[in-house]
Amino acid sequence: MRIGCHISVAGGYAKAVERAEALGAECFQYFSKSPRMLRFTKNINYEDAAAGRERAQTLGLPTLAHAPYLINLAAPDDDLRRASADALLWDLQVAHARGTEAVVVHCGKHVGAGVPAALAWMRESLARVLGEDNTGVRLLLENTAGQGTEMGTTVDELLSLVDGLAGPERLGFCLDTQHAFAAGVLNPLEPGGLAAVQAPAFRERLHAIHLNDSKVEAGHRADRHALVGQGHIGDAGLLRLVTEPSWHTLPFYLETPVSDEAQYRGEMAHIRRLLAEAR
């Protein structure tokens, strides 16, 4: 397995690659633009993108772009739904310029319109994005903790969002372990607690893991990440996750609530220590 973390691109992409390397990350994720903004204000800096892309390629460092949280592909409001799809199309362009294989986006929120209507809107948005995108960058839907009106909490719902739209190489999933634990979908501390996410139809579309511990207990439906080993998943649960044989080829990205990026060095070391002790 490969262990990496989230890196800020505030100082440019090439610098982010350098910092990921310095921290010893084996893969890294970044926000394709400010996470709380939908509209993009800057053009792509192709020079910076190419410099970072080349360095990451030389290092063999896989990267993942995370779309802004404000994107709601399932929004009942037509304008917001359209703006969300436009924003995502832009993120795919940014990722492409940087040599990034995939963009992760959260499943939408139905904001009171109900799940069936929102599922249809989200599928319509995804079909539009996949139809208009010319980059070939993979799109990954991230499972949610099921907070508020979030969709994409269960494996069945995630599968119904993508069914028939595109193949696993084009449209897949990123599994956030904290969200899945809080949603009651995954519990590495229980026998058979990984069964739901091992469904073949889900596994064949699974391309990345967000490895996070949880401040809330299993099934408590809140998006609250904890530092590794300091939450309710704990060392035993994290070890079970990073040694899952069918996931050994996947990149694991930490998104734990570190006070600064340098703290990820210790977070990654913690996981490597668990692995070494288990050998």
Q: Which stretch binds Zn ion (CB under 5 A): 8-16, 85-93, 133-141, 206-214?
A: 206-214
From 178, 175, 185, select the one nearest 224 (Cα to Cα). Answer: 178
Query: Radius of gyration over alpha carbons of the chain, in Å?
Result: 18
- Is 270 an interacting residue with respect to Zn ion (CB under 5 A)? no
Q: How many residues bind Zn ion (CB under 5 A)?
A: 3
The window from 29-37, 120-128, 172-180, 256-264 that contacts Zn ion (CB under 5 A) reads 172-180
- Which residues have C-beta within 8 Å of that of residue 93, sequence separation ≥ 6? 44, 135
* CA-based torsion, 68, 143, 14, 84: positive or negative: negative
Long-range pairs for 230-238: beta carbons < 8 A, 24 or more residues apart: 231/178, 232/181, 233/177, 233/178, 233/181, 233/188, 233/189, 234/189, 235/274, 236/188, 236/189, 237/181, 237/187, 237/188, 237/189, 237/213, 238/188, 238/211, 238/213, 238/271, 238/274
Contact between residue 88 and residue 128 where contact means Cβ atoms under 8 Å apart: no
Tokens of 232: 């309710």
Asked whether position 110 contacts Zn ion by CB under 5 A, the answer is no
* 133 is an interface residue for Zn ion by CB under 5 A: no
Verify binding: residue 109, Zn ion, rule CB under 5 A.
no
Tell me if 213 contacts Zn ion by CB under 5 A: no
Q: What are phi and psi of 131, to 5 degrees?
A: -75, -35
Nearest alpha carbon to residue 154 among 94, 207, 219: 219
- Name residue 67's amino acid: A
Which is nearer to Zn ion, 176 or 267 (by Cβ)?
176
> Shortest Cβ distance from residue 110 to Zn ion (Å)?
18
* 225: contact with Zn ion by CB under 5 A: no
Q: How far is the CB of 105 from Zn ion (least distance, A)?
A: 8
Chain residues 38-67 in contact with Zn ion, contact rule CB under 5 A: none
- Residue with smaller CB distance to Zn ion, 51 or 208: 208
Q: Tell me which stretch binds Zn ion (CB under 5 A): 107-115, 193-201, 202-210, 269-277.
A: 202-210
Q: CB of 194 within 8 A of CB of 117?
A: no
Which residue's CB is nearer to Zn ion, number 48 or number 176?
A: 176
- Does residue 210 belong to the site contacting Zn ion (CB under 5 A)? yes
CB of 255 to Zn ion, least distance (A): 5
Q: Which stretch binds Zn ion (CB under 5 A): 10-18, 44-52, 134-142, 262-270?
A: 134-142
- The only residue of 133, 176, 213, 223 in contact with Zn ion, by rule CB under 5 A: 176
Q: Under the rule (CB under 5 A), what is the footprint of Zn ion? A: 142, 176, 210
